[in-house]
Structure 1
């Protein structure tokens, strides 16, 4: 049976940008609130300083300018999301648990206050982010998913497929659904094609030869 104790996801997170130290959390929390309130483009370092109750120099010294703050916030929240994956997976891993996991990731990403604000008011910023940063981010996310799908394929709970290619597909499907909400129920939408594609095929029964008398 698959077990969270053998899922090597924490090591794969090392491919992501470094996790900011916890001492920066108050600054990044203030940045997140300002982004969600004003939008990334309209947020200034002064806004973050006022939100936190400190001066601009302190904010610059700790987390830099707005672009640097955005990168630190993205790195922190990516680490938090990936670190939580083992606790979100139903074991043993099978087609349904994969669909449920992807649906959860999509819902939580779309509910993130900063991303929700960008999807509503700053889609052009998302476009530039997709062109500049998403390819590398997706490659790193794929690296994080490969151990998961390899484990499930090896135990016979998922159909036998190239684990790297399968991880690529799952990551790309997830990313596209985060940016563009599907019609109808998300879980049903994912399951319609993923359940058949991920379900292992049963071995054909051995043929019986007629005995000639």
Structure 2
């Protein structure tokens, strides 16, 4: 029962976040959104910062569970790779599309959410590294490097129009370029000396 009420508090906090942002939201706003008194909200969270930290944690945990389920699925490596990357991209796009304020929950530099965002990215990178370690990578690319390339791709897609549609062909390209045994990574392009800076 207490978990249900906490979820209601976090849902109300999200509703307020979408409308007002973190700074402008008050505990009274959260209580009004729930239709309860402010003292009732204090039974479940210490203050609004605690409510928003818990909200960010819940959203990131849900996305990580989806990524973990994709990683453990009985499916080809490319399908699992897509599922892991889609979990991150969907979290970002959902929050960004709900409201410009909701994207505040994704700010790794933010005092309230920084450790949650950083931990999520680390856990996601670990899932990807494990996938590449189990499936093998092309010669010259370590599993951790392959994971970093994948994370960088998703971060790049986060601000591109049509990102969801681009994720599938991007994943196919990543799988073709990074997965495999006995294949060799393409040589590094030559450096151009004497270019103007």
TM-score, with length taken from structure 1: 0.63
Alignment RMSD (CA, Å): 3.5
Which residue of structure 2 aligns with residue 29 of structure 1? 11
Partner residue of 1:131 out of 92, 98, 109: 109
Which residue of structure 1 aligns with residue 188 of structure 2? none
Which residue of structure 2 aligns with residue 191 of structure 1? 171
State the distance in 2 between where 1:26 and 1:33 align.
10
8 Å CA contact 2:63, 2:87 repeated in 1 = no
Which residue of structure 2 aligns with residue 83 of structure 1? 65
1:63 aligns to what SS in structure 2?
coil
Map residues 59-98 of structure 1 onto 2, 5 A cutoff: 59-89=41-71, 90-98=73-81
The 1:24/1:74 distance shift into structure 2, 3 A limit, reads same
1:131 aligns to what SS in structure 2?
coil
The 1:73/1:195 distance shift into structure 2, 3 A limit, reads same
**Equivalent residues, number:** 178
8 Å CA contact 2:132, 2:179 repeated in 1 = no
State the distance in 2 between where 1:80 and 1:59 align.
23
Greater relative CO, 1 or 2 (CA 8 Å, sep 6+): 1
Partner residue of 1:102 out of 57, 72, 85: 85
Structure with greater Cα Rg: 1
The 1:182/1:97 distance shift into structure 2, 3 A limit, reads farther
State the distance in 2 between where 1:136 and 1:53 align.
29
Map residues 7-18 of structure 1 onto 2, 5 A cutoff: none
Consecutive unaligned residues in structure 1, runs of 5 or more: 1-19, 205-213
Partner residue of 2:146 out of 157, 166, 178: 166
8 Å CA contact 1:45, 1:65 repeated in 2 = yes
Consecutive unaligned residues in structure 2, runs of 5 or more: 185-197
The 1:169/1:148 distance shift into structure 2, 3 A limit, reads closer
CA offset at residue 33 of structure 1? 1.7
Which residue of structure 1 aligns with residue 26 of structure 2? 44
